[in-house]
Amino acid sequence: MRLLQKLYEISHDGFAKVELKSKFLELSFNVIMRMINGKKYFGEDEESDEAKKFQGLIRQTFEHASASNPGDFLRVLRWLDYKSFEKSLARISMDMDVFFQGLVEERRSDKTKNTMIDHLQTLQESQPKYYKDEAIKAMIMVLLLAGTDTSSATIEWAGSLLLNHPKVSEKAKAELETHVGIYRLIQEDDLSKLPYVHNIILETLRLFLAVPHKSSASCKVGGYDFQGGKILLVNTWSIHRDPKVWDDPTSFKPERFEGLQVETSKLMPFVLGLVSRNGPTRIIGFLTIQ
């Protein structure tokens, strides 16, 4: 609702250009952080010092996570810590740990909200061995790094597809107006009544989502040996565009999922594991990273 309000404020006098990528990223961060500790950290008119500090840490984290470190290719540069890359990572990691510890301590002293940290601290009381503060902070980090940029990018792709396919957009709009109306946002109870919107999501994931995985153990897939502990990039781009599996595979057609129970061996946006009980999943390409 806050995102829609801001878009309205920008364009209420007429049409206006809006850079949505940053808006979707703010949305993803705020949704996850409100789930974690009940606070928003982006998009406020008067942001607190805590919000500004968090934004700075996140910005540095993503900048270093997306940067190419020459030391990964030339070991001598890693020994020299070229441009203090590893020192910077260690400093950012320490700052993030301090910030997350502050969130944990804040929720420990304030029990007025019902957040993820509160639930984990309840489990910590009954199972202190498994739910240490370190484990809670690690869960927060995983959610932020794996669930924000990926979510906003997928929303951006979905929006781009709808803009370029007005007939699909009109059909989705008609379904929403019929089952939800125009005066409220979608609620969880509405999802079962929106099959076409669901198909749009599946088709977006088919065309544009690919996530890396890490092999938990050594295995053999399609005649190839994979060592345990390696990062694996599954070539879902080829799998989801295989003309032997998909009709008109390069086109955006949400209708392809109508009335069908999606087979996990066909739609694999999250890969779903490399080996199933019935044998190896059909793999068209892999890239392994040390």
Asked if 230 contacts 215 with a C-beta cutoff of 8 angstroms, the reply is: yes
- Looking at residue 66, its pLDDT comes to 65
Determine the 3-state secondary structure of 186 from DSSP: coil
pTM for this prediction? 0.79
Confidence of residue 30 (pLDDT cuts 50, 70, 90): very high
Residue 183 zone, left/alpha/beta (φ > 0; ψ -120 to 50; rest) = alpha
Confidence of residue 138 (pLDDT cuts 50, 70, 90): very high
Average pLDDT value for residue range 10-21: 85
Q: What is the spatial distance between Cα 132 and Cα 129, in angstroms, rounded to a whole number? A: 6
Asked if 267 contacts 208 with a C-beta cutoff of 8 angstroms, the reply is: no
pLDDT (tens digit per residue) in 84-93: 878 888 899 9
Query: Domain segments of the chain: what residues?
Result: 2-148, 150-208, 213-289
- Looking at residue 17, its pLDDT comes to 87
Q: What is the spatial distance between Cα 112 and Cα 114, in angstroms, rounded to a whole number? A: 7
Element (H, E) at 139: helix 133-147
